[in-house]
Amino acid sequence: MSQKILLTAKEVTIILNRLACQLIEKHLDFSNTVLIGLQPRGKFLAQRIQHILKTEYQLQNIPLGFLDITFFRDDFRRGDKPLEANKTQIDFLVENKKVVFIDDVLYTGRSINAALTAIQSFGRPSEVELLTLIDRRFSRHLPIQPDYRGRQVDAINGEKVKVCWLENEGEEGVYLITN
């Protein structure tokens, strides 16, 4: 198994700041916008984006939630190992709000499809957008594209993209792993 670095910690930081600026361009003061990190790995990216918006751009009232999509996936009964659900933490309604889903890697699009179904339990958004750090553009099973992307990666099916977060793995970076 080999590992190639796609993004260093410095490059991740630069991309996160660019993504935050793109969100500001579209949503200005976030008065009608909520950020929702998709569990488990989108949580770290969502927290980092919100932190940048608060500290670098002094935007204080940005609702942030975390959505577990485990049992909304179309393939949740197909695996051999038992599923481990995460906790949904959304303490606000999304009715008539602009929702920005945040996930680390967009691969087949199935997670986003599940998130679109799951979010309906919290109201009907006026608009839904997708922000992703890595877009594996040639692996899509569903016609889903990100509105905001950090980097496009052309990875073939045997390759895996691994995003490491300082808060979780103790290091920051994005790697392409080949078996």
At residue 76, the pLDDT reads 58
What count of Cα atoms within 13 Å lies in the side-chain half-sphere of residue 140? 15
Per 3-state DSSP, the chain is made up of helix, strand and coil in percentages (nearest 5) of 30, 30, 40
At residue 156, the pLDDT reads 81
At residue 38, the pLDDT reads 97
Q: Please, what are the averages of pLDDT over each run of 10 residues along the chain (179 residues)?
A: 94 98 96 96 96 96 95 67 81 96 96 95 96 92 96 88 92 93
At residue 47, the pLDDT reads 97
